Structures are given as structure tokens and as C-alpha cells.
Amino acid sequence: MAAISLDGLTKRYGKGTRVHLPGSRTQSNEVLAIDSLSFEVNEGEIFGFLGPNGAGKTTTIRTLLGLLSPTDGTGRVLGADVRDEGALIEAKKRIGYLPADLAFDEGLTGRRVLDYHASIKGDSRREELLELFDPPVERKIREYSTGNERMLGIVQAFMHDPDLVIMDEPTSGLDPLKQEVFHEFLRDERGRGTTLFFSSHVLGEVRQVCDRVAILRDGRLVALEDVDSLLNRGGKRVRLRLADELSETEFTTEGMVDLHALADGFQFTYTGEYNALLSHLAGHDVTDIEIGEPPLEDVFMHYYGESEEPADAEPVATPREEVADA
């Protein structure tokens, strides 16, 4: 049985919904937040739910957790239909949730926050997780840094040893060392059989930990594939300096995408064979080179097309209750 299953899941805000538009104007409008999503998340896999800000990731997560009601279609989480409140409440005992906006009571200490969550769902792994992530639980939340608050959120999401953990931008605010600790923890959790579903717009994070990914754009599923396939499509972002002066036409070769001339070199995304690129560069006097992951938005632009909306269309508005959607 799939841990998560979506079948035509749709969330639409109908006419009469107040919508905030640029220029502080409001009007009633129909907004399609997520559109006929259908895919499955297998038990025991790390599944990345990707897309730029505003793609509909948070709306999907909130609908799966029963915080929003679907307009059409349905989804199942650990076998429970998201439209069946009673079944979903029972399933949530086996689910951990790490929202993008943690919204802890700032007047409470971290320990009080964990005590509250423990009273609802248990905390069999609390001490183990506190040793690993080490948020300052004796201090009040108002004194926490963003990273400490995120680490407290991670502890509360996993401390009852759930079968499924749903996370929305889980590493936001963590420093690079804590991010690596968290990624290693996710890999260990997968080894224990835990299913991990998280949204992200950071391609490097996805590369490190995910087995498969679904890519969302404008509320629609535009790709569902394993990580290796995604990376092959994404290529590498290359920035280099040259001692010799060349035009773009003289320098370009097969596999270069979005080539831009710089003051003393070029920047481009490379999607071809790396040995071919090295052979090409060997014919030039390269004085410096940087190679990294392209922004996830660039992957969308290059491999999944431009937005289907007309260029002169009114910008899609965001309902006030979904303004935090990422």
C-alpha cells in the first residue's frame, strides 16, 4: 500500500473568495490552487515535492493533512481518505508534521512545547532526538534563533516515532552543518522504514537525500521521476574566466544552455557530457571556474517550458488564507 496516494486532487477557491492583487486591490475571483494531482508515494522512500514559491506545495500538504478540504478528487494518507475526518484523525497518530511556519507559542519554553505535543501523540524518541539536534529547551521560544526553532520543530515531528513524516521546507533556517546532520538523519530514517515526504525549492538538498521527486508548477504536476533523471535534465551551472577574448559564437559548444558573456568570461548551464566540456575548455586559457547546481527555477524554464498563461494576463492572485503557500 502506498503511504500517500493522490487521485485527481484539486483545490479551487470559488467565486466570492476575496483575493489580494498587486497594488493593494481586492476582487472576487476563482483561483485554482492545485489542479488534478495524481501520484503515489511508496512506503519507506524519501519523496521530494518540488516547485518554486507559489506553485501549490503548501496547499497540497495542508489538504493531505485535512487542514483544507479538496474541491474535487481525493487523497489517501496511510490508507485514510483525506475527506474522512474520523479516519484521518486516527491516521495522524502515525504521522509527523513539520510546517514551514512553526508558530510555536513564544511565551513557552521548548520543553513545554514538547511536553504539550507528547501529551497528544507520545514522545518515545524525544531524548534521542534532543541529543542529535540540541535545541535549547529550557529557554523560551521568543529567545530562539530561526535555526533553533527549526530544530525544535524537527524533534516534535519525529519524537513519537511516526510511520510517515510530512515536512514543508524542513531545512529553512538551518546552518549548513545542521542541514547535513538532518540529511544524514533522513537517510537513517529511511533505513528504518519511515516514509518521508517534503517540499523544497533547493535542488542540492533534493540531490542529497531523495529517491523520487514530483515537480509542481502553477498547481499542476509537470514531472514525476527519480532524482538521477532530474539531475541529468538539470545539468550544471558553470561560471568561468578566460585569459583569451572570445565572442559567444566562438566559445559556444553543444550542451551549453542560457550562455551569457561576462566581463572576463562566460556563464552558462551545461547539459551535455562532462568529458566533452573538459575537452572544449582545454582549448582555451581558463583562469578560474565555478561549477554548481542550477537554481530549480532554471530547471523548470529549460525542461518544462514557459508558463502557459498569456504574457498580458492578469497575474494569478493568492487567496489571503494561502498567502504563506510555498
Q: Yes or no: say if 230 and 326 are a contact pair by the CB < 8 Å rule.
A: no
Same domain, 188 and 252: no
Last residue in a domain, options 214, 232, 250: 232
The closest of 166, 170, 169 to 82, measured between CA atoms, is: 166
- Return the pLDDT at 269: 86
Angle ∠(230,233,235) on CA atoms, nearest 5? 110
Same domain, 226 and 244: no
Q: Is residue 303 part of a domain?
A: no
Last residue in a domain, options 232, 267, 302: 232
Mean pLDDT, each 10-residue run in order, the chain (326 residues): 94 65 53 92 94 86 94 95 94 95 95 96 96 96 96 97 95 91 95 94 79 90 83 80 90 89 91 90 94 69 48 34 38
Same domain, 209 and 80: yes
Last residue in a domain, options 232, 258, 275: 232
Same domain, 146 and 273: no
The closest of 275, 268, 310 to 289, measured between CA atoms, is: 268
- Return the pLDDT at 205: 78
Residue 19, CA distances (Å) to 27, 71, 111, 322 in order: 6, 18, 39, 10
Same domain, 103 and 140: yes
- Return the pLDDT at 318: 36
Strands 31-41 and 25-28: unpaired
Same domain, 193 and 255: no
Domains in the chain, number: 2
Give me the domain span that covers residue 161. Answer: 4-232
Q: Is residue 249 part of a domain?
A: yes
Q: Is residue 106 part of a domain?
A: yes
Same domain, 182 and 256: no
**CATH code (residue 30):** 3.40.50.300
Same domain, 138 and 262: no
Same domain, 243 and 148: no
Same domain, 171 and 217: yes
CB contact set of 280 (below 8 Å; sequence gap of 6+): 253
Q: Is residue 318 part of a domain?
A: no
- Return the pLDDT at 319: 36
Same domain, 204 and 282: no
Q: Which residues on adjacent β-strands are paired with residue 325?
A: none
- Return the pLDDT at 3: 96
